[in-house]
Amino acid sequence: MASPLRNPRNALLLIAFVAGVFYLLAPLKTAPPSNKAFGFTDETLPARVRSYERIYQKVLEGRAKLIQKFGPTPKDVAMFPPDKDPWPPYTVWDFFPPAFNCPHEIERVGQLGDGGKWVCGLDRLQDKPDCVIYSFGINGESSFEAEVLERTQHCQIWGYDFSVRSFGPQIPTFSLRRTHFKAYGLSGKDSHGPQDKPKMYTLQSLMEMNGHTHIDLLKIDVESWEFDVLNAFVKPYVESGKPLPFGQLSIELHLWNRKFPEFLAFWEMLEEAGLRPFFQEMNMVYNNYAKGGEPELSEYSFLNIKGNNVFVIDPPVYNVHGSRPVDY
């Protein structure tokens, strides 16, 4: 029996049918999602950041209403009120949600559990020639630093922790040429005289010591010293109107003996400087086993939306020497 496809007319009809099917299905498989569906007509990176900032401003309105509800002033708000008083209950973290939309992919860098961090757009650093990472608080676990080294070509990591003698064993020997470790502490003021042990430095002093004008990723876990550190470092930038010299901040906040007005002022200072929280992770190991059970420790990741850092400009711009513009 002769095949119907041997008839030229039937063959052409079949080809046309198959082509039509592929034409109809192709958009379903390949068309990327568009921000236009959300009312955004400009899809450049700076435009997305501006749109997400408008959304974030609603959170500030919500915070003011929540303070009014449970206060009515900040001094009247408890960090962790007793059970059923008031009802429904709340915690301090309800006032500070990680409500900013990262304009890139969000992913866990490093191990699950203690040690890893949530980062926005790590691939922006993959080929960056002057990539700089600062990591405070090593504690023998360096899976975060190890993955950053593995996935980037040029990132150099400066690590500081006076409780250990080096980075953790997760960093391969061949990557050590891109790491720099000192057993120094991070503080709100310098204390590094001959008799000072451990030697303590401000973030500004360490940057000057290393000849750095910018940091791409700043990781801080310094057991409640973060308040002194960031108050000393951030306030001068807020007062001068200059952008902070880092792109992202991953930090563990320790609320031991803090009151709500103090923490609110600290957080609002970070916001005024351009830092926006895009991820939060409670330290459940501590919170589950700490005396009293109050969730006083929480990890936050912030994106800096001010200045020319690599996470908010598109495309990244380098000068002929492979360095960032001077107004970073």
Q: Check which CATH number belongs to the domain holding 226 and give it.
A: 3.40.50
Any domain includes 243? yes
Q: Is residue 152 part of a domain?
A: yes
Q: Give domain status of residue 289, yes or no.
A: yes
Specify whether the CB–CB gap between 261 and 92 falls below 8 A.
no
pLDDT recorded at residue 115: 85
> Looking at the predicted structure, is the pLDDT value of residue 88 above 90?
no
Residue spans of beta strands (DSSP E) within the chain: 106-109, 117-120, 132-136, 156-160, 179-182, 185-186, 200-201, 215-220, 246-254, 275-282, 297-304
Note whether residue 76 is domain-resident: no
- For 263, the token pair is 């923490």
* DSSP letter for each residue of 302-313: EEE-SSS-TTTS
On whether residue 221 sits in a domain, the answer given is yes
What pLDDT does residue 37 have? 46
Q: For 59-63, 130-134, 153-157, 282-286, which range has the lowest pLDDT when averaged over its residues?
A: 282-286
Domain housing 138: 101-304
95 found inside a domain: no
Per the structure, the count of domains in the chain is 1
**234 in any annotated domain:** yes
pTM score of the predicted model: 0.82
pLDDT in tens, 286-295: 777 765 668 9
- For residue 10, is it within any domain? no
